[in-house]
Each structure stands twice: as structure tokens, then as C-alpha cells.
């Protein structure tokens, strides 16, 4: 492999690592029904859950809140996947279709 090609590959690798770090440090928010809001890091680590207290009118609401938390977390995780695909996908095509 010629030195010029090696430098391009090293530069591309560095850019990929920086982009991955950027995604990992981004906080994505998922919401559901105006009742629950969750924050997930780009590493898919749940870091915060907020429940609108006005949504708790009776003890029967607990099951509804639990279901809503699942929806909100899944929405946030989908955002992480979408952002990862958007930002990392360009590297995949440069490397001959290797997926991330």
C-alpha cells in the first residue's frame, strides 16, 4: 500500500473515531404522550426519566405510565440508531459497505 493511501486510511479512521465519540456524548430525548420524557446517551445508556405529575390522577395510571416509559425509551433509542446511521453511514460506503 502506498504511503498516500495509508495516510488517507489513518485520517478516515481518526474521523470515524471522532464521529463515534460525538454520537456517544450526545443526549437524545424520547417522549410519549406528553406524560413521560427520557434522556438517553448515544451509548444507549438511560440517564433520566421525567414523569409529568399531572398524569397521575389515580393508582390505575401506574400501568399506563409504565407503558409510556417503554415507548419513550424506545423513541430515544431509535434516535440514537438514526443518528449513528446518518453520521457513520458515510464511512461504511467509503470502506466498501462494511456496516456499523
- Of the chain, the end-to-end C-alpha distance in Å amounts to 25
32 domain residue, yes or no: yes
4 domain residue, yes or no: no
20 domain residue, yes or no: no
Domain count for the chain, please give it.
Answer: 1
What pLDDT is attached to residue 17? Answer: 93
73 domain residue, yes or no: yes
pTM of the model: 0.73
Domain that holds residue 65: 25-90
What pLDDT is attached to residue 76? Answer: 94
In this predicted model, what pLDDT tens digit does every residue of 59-75 receive, in sequence order?
677 788 888 899 999 99
Does residue 76 contact residue 40 with C-beta atoms inside 8 Å? Answer: yes
CATH code for the domain of 37: 3.30.1310.10
What pLDDT is attached to residue 96? Answer: 66
In this predicted model, what pLDDT tens digit does every residue of 30-39 receive, in sequence order?
999 888 999 9
DSSP element (H, E) containing 56: none
96 domain residue, yes or no: no
5 domain residue, yes or no: no
Reported as a pLDDT band with limits 50, 70 and 90, residue 97 is low
Q: What angle do CA 47, 92, 38 make, to 5 degrees?
A: 15
What pLDDT is attached to residue 85? Answer: 92
Amino acid at each position: 500500500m502506498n504511503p498516500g493511501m495509508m495516510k488517507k486510511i489513518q485520517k478516515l479512521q481518526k474521523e470515524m473515531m471522532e464521529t463515534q465519540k460525538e454520537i456517544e456524548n450526545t443526549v437524545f430525548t424520547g417522549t410519549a404522550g406528553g406524560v413521560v420524557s427520557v434522556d438517553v446517551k448515544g451509548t444507549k445508556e438511560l440517564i433520566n426519566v421525567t414523569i409529568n405529575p399531572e398524569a397521575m390522577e389515580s393508582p390505575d395510571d401506574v400501568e399506563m405510565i409504565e407503558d409510556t416509559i417503554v415507548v419513550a425509551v424506545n423513541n430515544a433509542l431509535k434516535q440514537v440508531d438514526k443518528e449513528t446511521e446518518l453520521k457513520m453511514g458515510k464511512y461504511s460506503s467509503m470502506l466498501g459497505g462494511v456496516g456499523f
